[in-house]
Amino acid sequence: MDPVAPVLSEVNDSKEAVGSTPPEPEVMAFPEGTLLALLTAEVAGYRGDYQYALDQYLIEAEKTLDPGVAARVTRLAAYMKADDKLYQAASLWAQADPESLEAHQFLADQLVKRALYVDAFETMRTIDRLGGEAQFDYFAYRVGRMTQEDRQALLLGLNDMLTVNPNEPQILFSKAALLEALGDGPAALETADTLLGLKPAELNFVILKANLLSDLNQKQAAQAFLSEQLAINPDQPRLRLLLARLLFEAQAFSDARVQYQILHEIRPEDGEILFALAMLSIEQADFAQARLHLGRLVRTDQRVNQAQYYLGLVAEKTGDVALALREFAKVDG
C-alpha cells in the first residue's frame, strides 16, 4: 500500500456521520491555507519526500485538530518509524477523536516506549473500553524499571479494574508482580494462587509462584511445587532450570546435577548448563566429567577464560602440576 494515500479523502471521511449515534461533532471550516498545505504535503509524499510531507501534515494536524489529518500523519510517522513525531501525532489523533481505537493503540505503544507507565495504563483502559485488546500483562514484565510511585498508581488502577472483572488473568498477573515489587510477598503469593486456580498450566503463573515462594524463604516449598509441576508436564525446560538453580543454591548438589543433566540432554551445547555441570562435577570430585564439560565449553567458544581456569584447577586437584600450569597460562588477564 502506498504510504501516502490521499489525505483529503481521509479528512472528508472524518467529517461524514457514521450512523445516528453518537452524534458527530460540528464540522469546522479549515483555517485559511490549510487545504493548500495539505495538498502540498500530499504531492511531496507522492514524490517520495516523506519528511517534508510528515512535517507539513503535523503542522496542520496541530493547527486544525482534524481527526483525518491527525490519522494521516500518525500512519505516515509509523511508516517512517519516526517515533518522536509519531508520539505527537498519536496524541493529537486521540485528542481529536477520543473514540478511535487505532489512535489509542498508537498512543499506548509510544507511551510504553517512553516508560510513561501510568499514562500507558490509562490509554490501555480506553483501548479495553473501545473493544480492543489491551496487553495489561505488559506491566508485569516492566515492573523492575518502574518507580515506586508508578507501581503504587498502577496497583490502584488494576484493583479498580478487578472490581468489575475479578478474574482477568492479565490484570491479576501484573497485580502480583506489582505487589512483589512493593514488598508485599504474601499478597502476591495469594494472587498467584488465584491465577493458578484460573489457569493451572500457565507456565508464567507457575514460575511466578515458584519465585515468590523462594523470595519468601520457602525454598523447600518452591522445590516441591516445581517438582509437582514437572511430574505433570516434564517437557518444560524453564521449570527444570529454575528447579536446578534452587537445588544448587540449597547445596543439594546431587539433585541439582540430575536436573542439569536432563537439561544437558535437551540442550547439549548450552554454555550455562555445561558450566553448571562442570561446577557440580568439581564439587563432587568427579574430575573426569568436569574436564569433559569444560573442554566442550572451550571447543564451542563459550566462557573460555573461566573454562581454562577450571581446567587448570582440575589438573591441579588431580596432581598434574605441569598440565595445570599450561591451562592456567591460557587464562587471559
Question: Mind listing the pLDDT tens digit for each residue in 230-245?
Answer: 999 999 999 999 999 9
Closest of 183, 182, 191 to residue 154, by C-alpha:
182
* pLDDT bucket at 52, cuts 50 / 70 / 90: confident
Whole-number percent of the chain with pLDDT over 90: 81
Q: What is the pTM of this model?
A: 0.80
End-to-end CA distance of the chain: 56
Does 76 map to a domain?
yes
* pLDDT bucket at 21, cuts 50 / 70 / 90: low
Does 254 map to a domain?
no
Cα 244 from chain centroid (whole Å)? 24
For residue 31, give its domain range: 1-133
Q: What is the dihedral of CA 201, 273, 242, 260, to 10 degrees?
A: 80
Does 81 map to a domain?
yes
Mean pLDDT, the chain, rounded, equals: 90
Does 115 map to a domain?
yes
Q: Are 121 and 157 in contact (CB under 8 A)?
A: yes
Does 196 map to a domain?
no
CATH code of the domain containing 34? 1.25.40.10
Which residue matches cell numbers 544448587?
A: 248
Does 107 map to a domain?
yes
- CA–CA distances in Å: residue 60 to residues 38, 82, 101, 239: 7, 17, 22, 54
Q: What is the pLDDT of residue 333?
A: 66
* pLDDT bucket at 182, cuts 50 / 70 / 90: very high
Least confident of 41-50, 85-94, 105-114: 41-50
pLDDT digit string (tens) for 203-230? 999 999 999 999 999 999 999 999 999 9
Q: What is the pLDDT of residue 32?
A: 60
Q: Are 331 and 309 in contact (CB under 8 A)?
A: yes
> Which is more confident, 328 or 6?
328
Does 9 map to a domain?
yes
> Which is more confident, 333 or 46?
46
Residue 84 has which C-alpha cell? 518522536
Total number of domains constituting the chain? 1
Q: Are 251 and 238 in contact (CB under 8 A)?
A: no
Does 274 map to a domain?
no
